[in-house]
Structure 1
Amino acid sequence: MASKVYFTNLRTRPGMNLLDKLENLVKKAGILNIDFENKFVAIKLHFGEPGNLAYIRPNYAARLVKLIKELGGRPFLTDSNTLYSGRRANALDHLESAYENGFNPLSTGCQVIIADGLKGTEYIEIPINLEYCKTAKIGSAIVDSDIIISMAHFKGHEQAGFGGTLKNLGMGCASRGGKLELHSTSQPKIVEKNCVGCGICVKNCAHDAIHLNEDKIAYIDYEKCVGCGQCVAVCQYNAAQVVWNESSEIMNKKIAEYTYAIVKDKPAFYINFIMNVSPDCDCWSNNDYPIVPDIGIAASFDPVALDMASVDLVKNAPVLPGSKIYKDHSHDFLGKDKFKFVHPNADWEAGLNHAEKIGLGSKDYEIILI
């Protein structure tokens, strides 16, 4: 059977604004069938790198929080720290960034919790024994929650092709060490010019693989290194770095497996906001002009069907004049994969195919208009 994907456009009228439409959508999609009573509910979303304005408005999160509280749930907003250096690489900077972009207890009605702790080291390994990942390193707050709600901004992504529900969960819930596993087949490296000899990587290496040389510069014993990423997580000077060498195909398959780990034992519900469809990820401190007009909001209990339907909605939308992929004949893009034009080397299809293979969902869907 085709999975049901519920969709609402962005047209409004007096008495039915966009927040009302979001609430109506999720109710029609079946969110009321989840038992929220006294359950911890992790609302996973991307808070946006400061300077980037394409992220989901906090108003939407606030309306969802209000609904979940009315249903007896105990919601919190969450995301994990980033692997790259930026303003979301540790919990202090991450919280400041979230607050700056409007995600705070006053505006949303609930707490903001960084899922993998201060330095990205608070995680739980979930056994999955799948093709690429035997375990998944997931932020503790995500694992400890009772229910998962994904609020994903649907947009392009340099490595994944697009960022939707699978990317929001599989990559976004991974600890910094988990993100290393997703991005790289290699062990980390030390950039000597950045190392100040503080020794924090030595203290935090569980495998005795890092030491300081006679010049007080860190070095890695690769015979002992298991590639856990702990040194990358704790280094505050960008000396321990990722070797970014995983292919798009394999990374997307790993993301699917991490998503499987996150939702396999608990109720989960997924929402894609197909608006401000920027060509690149919200992790940049800027956002480019959208590639298509705002389309709508979609929701489902099937994350694979939801992402597949969202891709098709973007395929069938016109290209915006002046956008990154617009040429002289925008009609040539109708029905074609916009994300392939933006990032031709990214293989998003591999991720959805693998997600379907491991039982995460189905690419076969039925759109139900709300």
Structure 2
Amino acid sequence: MEQAKVYFTTFKATAHENLLQKLHRLMKTAGFENIDFTDKYAAIKIHFGEYGNLAFLRPNYAKVVADYVKELGGKPYLTDCNTLYVGSRKNALDHLDTAYVNGFSPLQTGCHVLIGDGLKGTDETLVPIDGEYVKEAKIGHAIMDADVFISLTHFKGHEMAGFGGALKNIGMGCGSRAGKMEQHCDGKPSVDRDLCVGCGACSRICAHDAPQISDRKAEIDHEKCVGCGRCLAVCPKDAIAADFSDSIAVLNYKMAEYSLAVCRNRPCFHVSLICDVSPNCDCHAENDIPIIPNVGMLASFDPVALDQACADLCNQMTPVKESILGENLEKHGVDEGHDHFHMTHPDTEWKSCIAHAVKIGLGTDQYELVKI
């Protein structure tokens, strides 16, 4: 497969061109206007951010994309699917409340918000793909109904996938609740009883009553657990770890196949912003300081090349010393050449997702970086 073009610009601005205008120019240069938007429904997939998180993309960027779609005759709407874990986006009503609180209302963005998988996360379209790991992807109905699909991604770290890029935003983000369960189901966490203090934080965050407290120690019922990983994030003693074995790779393979189900057979365009690169997903109700400085904005018709380019650019950056990444580097004394995302979360790796996406024909990891 020949190289894909990935267009890149920094966050430097001038008195003659602010960042919003620069994003518009980036999209135009990358070929956004080659898509026929006339009277077409255009889904703009974005993460609205968990309530309490402040690392998510500012709604101003979403407005640029929505206005551009309308300028070209399309009918844009912002969308995301409900979460698997218990939080501020677990159903469509709470999800909309959170989106509006975080600034993604029609007044700020110029378009409506549709929760992709409906009120309770069960409004899904079954998309046959006959993949190696997924035979029938479960995608939010309002996302599959779109004529054109656009991903607008906050590129950041991720506690399970290594980083959250375009493929994570598309594959996991567009899955219905059952779709998310299907992708997560191979990773099941366990408790280190020597570290556990029985505080109950894991049981309070779990939607499925998997963690049980007995004799001031937690145990996780793997029959109930769906592998969402929220208990790992809230444990104050780091007593919970995932029994990954090969499950991280399987999660990545499934995520790639879900991305194929979303993108196949319709026009797609992808934008990623590498800013506020928090170590964890925007699904967290908090965000730690960025692991690297802001990098820039990228756009491409190829989501695989886009993710590869973003990862490469991030790994060229000097880590923020006070961040989790900086602390891990100081603690372990790692030389140059390490992967920032693996060093941030040593139990993760991201390359299998890209490799599988290439294998199934979603895109290529070979790219030409076109700087504007």
TM-score (norm 1): 0.84
Show the counterpart of 1:340: 342
Q: Distance in 2 between matches of 1:49 and 1:298?
A: 24
| 8 A contact 2:166–2:270 mirrored in 1 | yes
Deviations 1:296-350 (A, max 9, x none): 0001001110000000000000111211121587996655310010111112111
Secondary structure (helix, strand or coil) at the match of 1:138 reads strand
| 8 A contact 2:166–2:303 mirrored in 1 | yes
Q: Distance in 2 between matches of 1:228 and 1:155?
A: 24
Show the counterpart of 1:281: 281
Show the counterpart of 1:237: none
Show the counterpart of 1:39: 40
| 8 A contact 2:184–2:226 mirrored in 1 | no
Q: Distance in 2 between matches of 1:269 and 1:33?
A: 10
Show the counterpart of 1:191: 209
Show the counterpart of 1:27: 28
Q: 1:316 to 1:90 in 2, by over 3 A?
A: same
Show the counterpart of 1:161: 162
In the TM superposition, residue 33 of structure 1 has moved relative to its aligned partner by 0.1
Q: Distance in 1 between matches of 2:211 and 2:265?
A: 45
What letter corresponds to residue 16 of structure 2 in structure 1? G
In the TM superposition, residue 358 of structure 1 has moved relative to its aligned partner by 0.2
Secondary structure (helix, strand or coil) at the match of 2:288 reads coil
Deviations 1:200-219 (A, max 9, x none): xxxxxxxxxxxxxxxxxxxx
- Say if 2:88 is the partner of 1:87: yes
| 8 A contact 2:46–2:80 mirrored in 1 | yes
In the TM superposition, residue 248 of structure 1 has moved relative to its aligned partner by 1.0
Q: Distance in 1 between matches of 2:303 and 2:366?
A: 11
- 1:219-298 counterparts in 2 under 5 A? 247-298=247-298
Q: 1:309 to 1:190 in 2, by over 3 A?
A: closer
Q: Distance in 1 between matches of 2:101 and 2:207?
A: 33
| 8 A contact 1:278–1:290 mirrored in 2 | yes
In the TM superposition, residue 191 of structure 1 has moved relative to its aligned partner by 3.3
Q: Distance in 1 between matches of 2:173 and 2:364?
A: 21
RMSD of aligned alpha carbons: 2.5
- 1:1-370 counterparts in 2 under 5 A? 1-185=2-186, 191=209, 247-327=247-327, 335-370=337-372
Show the counterpart of 1:214: none
Secondary structure (helix, strand or coil) at the match of 1:137 reads strand
In the TM superposition, residue 121 of structure 1 has moved relative to its aligned partner by 0.5
Q: Which runs of 5+ in 1 are unaligned?
A: 195-221, 230-243
What letter corresponds to residue 344 of structure 1 in structure 2? P
Q: 1:131 to 1:99 in 2, by over 3 A?
A: same
In the TM superposition, residue 50 of structure 1 has moved relative to its aligned partner by 1.0
Secondary structure (helix, strand or coil) at the match of 2:28 reads helix
What letter corresponds to residue 73 of structure 2 in structure 1? G
Secondary structure (helix, strand or coil) at the match of 2:89 reads coil
Secondary structure (helix, strand or coil) at the match of 1:340 reads helix
What letter corresponds to residue 158 of structure 2 in structure 1? H
Q: Distance in 1 between matches of 2:98 and 2:26?
A: 29
Q: Which runs of 5+ in 2 are unaligned?
A: 189-205, 213-222, 228-241
Q: Distance in 1 between matches of 2:139 and 2:210?
A: 30
| 8 A contact 2:43–2:148 mirrored in 1 | yes
What letter corresponds to residue 185 of structure 2 in structure 1? S
| 8 A contact 1:302–1:361 mirrored in 2 | yes
What letter corresponds to residue 364 of structure 1 in structure 2? Q
| 8 A contact 1:318–1:334 mirrored in 2 | no
In the TM superposition, residue 190 of structure 1 has moved relative to its aligned partner by 5.9
What letter corresponds to residue 191 of structure 1 in structure 2? D
Flag as ranges the 4+ runs of structure 1 deviating above 2 A: 185-194, 327-336
In the TM superposition, residue 265 of structure 1 has moved relative to its aligned partner by 1.1
